[in-house]
A = this chain, B = another copy of it.
């Protein structure tokens, strides 16, 4: 089996840093790059693209709400149609920076509150994914399995891939347990490794309640702000290898219907 190992990178702004991108990127196969709306700025984007390229990682656009103070985590009552242009703006900005660096944008995902809103709203999902399709129909869209975003991508015939948050607990409803709850973040690398093994062999995950949840996911995500993301990524790599699977970049994953 082929899986992708991915994290949100370039989440600083100006003089501010978040996470240790330089240490983590060499362990990944693809990275999501913040595009200046919720985090990131043009210089950080360029640096992140250069780091990704040097490490053989593919880059994708991490598209967010225009809310630097709130890190794109606060829902805003955007009007979907007008937000189309904001999706294109972020995507194009990264495209030009990647092109100038001799690299290429291969995928994208929606960050934070924007991602949550699209996941549950047919119309918003169709609008956002439609904006992407207007620019580049070959981009891979990564999102949690079962979201409206995935349905919208499939309806448009675009490639998409399910995300498994390797360092986060899931509820029985298939959603991430909110960060403010106890046990929502998994920090033990061994535990993370076991979850990845199970995902690959079984396509399931144990929920926080102990039930088994189907998880048709091929991109394994870790969060750079999780304590010791490097250890987590290393554990994931070992777990993947132990199953005889391979880590490849996002665009090299098989199409979803052959998962």
Q: Which A residues contact B (CB, under 8 angstroms)? A: 12-18, 36, 39, 41-43, 45-46, 66-71, 74-78, 82, 84-86, 88-97, 99-101, 113, 131, 134-135
Contact = CB atoms under 8 A, between A and B. Distances in A.
A42 B113 contact: no
Nearest to A18: B16
Copies in the complex: 4
Nearest to A86: B42
A46 B14 contact: no
Contact of A45 (B39, B71, B89): B89
A113 B77 contact: yes
Given A94-B92, A95-B95, A15 B71 contact: yes
A259 B171 CA distance: 55
A125 B41 CA distance: 22
Contacts of A15: 18, 39, 71
Contact of A16 (B12, B36, B46, B75): B12
A100 B88 contact: yes
